[in-house]
Chains A and B, each alone.
Chain A
Amino acid sequence: MTADRYARQVLHWGKENQQKIADAVVMIAGLGGLGATVSQLLVRAGAGKLYLVDDGIVDWPDLNRQLLYGEGDIGREKLPLAKERLSAINSTTEISLIEGRIDKNFFMPNDLHAVADCLDNYSSRFLLDELTPEGVFLVHGGLEGDHGQVLTLQSGQSQPMSEIFAGACQPEGSIPVTPDNVVVVAGLMVNELFAILFGQPKLLNRCLVVSLADFHMAFLDV
């Protein structure tokens, strides 16, 4: 039965690519809206190992879009909860927890193939990009209201994220985020992560800008 777990996706991308996913090590920075879905999709697809980074607890405003958590989880730490839920979905994925924030003292694992930027503020994103080991791909996702963006950078090859997004606004207070937009942007991030693992990134130095208001997508080269 377990051999059938990936049967439907292997029909699409083949056994060789499935093995690449099984060998993959990906770090998910942030387990909010984007991170909860990105991690779940990677686990469902059979990712070999995930590092999860967060230091938050589940609160009511999280429940509209953070698909790993429910009402009974209010007040609980996201990190162990996420591991519990993800392991229940696929026990073959190794999950390693890193409790804390992305700051200057953050210790990056040295076995990464890719990093998923699922954070919610630009100062942490800039640090994450700075700390990403040379050659490793970072897939950035961000959203607000009914628009969002996905971008892949390769440390040492791409412009630093802090240069590309210099002047980007971190709004005061809560950022408007809806469940549909989170899932769309997270799905695009995972599609790009698969493309990276398969050796053919589609968004390297190319930002995909998405608007749900009129179902529009456009590329912005950076």
Chain B
Amino acid sequence: MIQIQFYSLLRMLLKQERIELPAIEGETVAQLLARLQKQLSTPFLHKLLDDDGSMHAGTIILVNRHNIHHLEGLQTHLNDNDVVAMFPPGAGG
């Protein structure tokens, strides 16, 4: 299984903190997000991705604690038992 955790505004939008989906061999983060959107009744990808499928600035996605910016971005491959966390950190002080 892959555990997906939602924080802050995404948690409120989706009305849940986490969801588990069966792992699919070779699946990328982008493919997982598309699968997740199909499963959930609330559209959320527009909060994360531009029309061309690239990531908005704002929300960070961590796979096993590591920001996908430093992995292979949305093309990062996932494995069974991975934890994917999505979080839009506040910038102000």
Give A residues with C-beta under 8 Å from B: 30, 32-35, 118-122, 141-145, 147-149, 159, 163-171, 175-177, 182, 205, 207, 209, 211, 213-214, 216, 218, 220-222
Q: Secondary structure of the B side of the interface?
A: mixed
A33 to B55, CA, bound (A): 30
- Among B55, B88, B93, chain A packs the most CB atoms within 10 A around the CB of B93
Closest to B70 in A: A163
In the bound complex, what is the Cα–Cα distance between A120 and B91 (angstroms)? 6
Bound CA span A121–B90, Å: 10
Closest residue to A141 on the B side, CB-wise? B93
Q: Is the CB of B91 within 8 A of A209?
A: no
Q: Is there an interface contact between B93 and A143, defined as CB atoms closer than 8 Å?
A: yes
In B11-30, the 8 Å CB interface with A consists of: 11-12, 17
Q: List B contacts of A214 (CB < 8 A).
A: 12
Chain A interface, >50% SS class:
mixed
CA distance A26 to B60 in the complex (A): 29
**Does B53 sit within 8 A of A, measured CB to CB?**
no
B43 within 8 A of A: no
Contact of A171 with B8 in the complex, beta carbons under 8 Å: no
B15 to chain A, nearest CB (A): 10
Contact call A220/B87, Cβ cutoff below 8 A: yes
Is B5 part of the contact surface with A, judged by Cβ < 8 Å? yes
**Contact bitstring B77-93, A, C-beta under 8 A = 1, else 0:** 00000000101111111
19 A-B Cβ contacts within 8 A?
A: A120-B91, A144-B92, A145-B90, A147-B9, A159-B66, A163-B66, A163-B70, A164-B60, A165-B60, A165-B89, A167-B55, A167-B59, A169-B59, A169-B88, A170-B57, A170-B91, A175-B91, A182-B93, A218-B11
Collect the chain A residues with CB atoms within 8 Å of residue B12's CB.
211, 213-214
| A32–B67 CB distance below 8 A | no
Residues of chain A lying within 8 A (CB to CB) of residue B56: 169
Interchain CB contact (< 8 A) of A143 among B59, B62, B87, B92 = B92
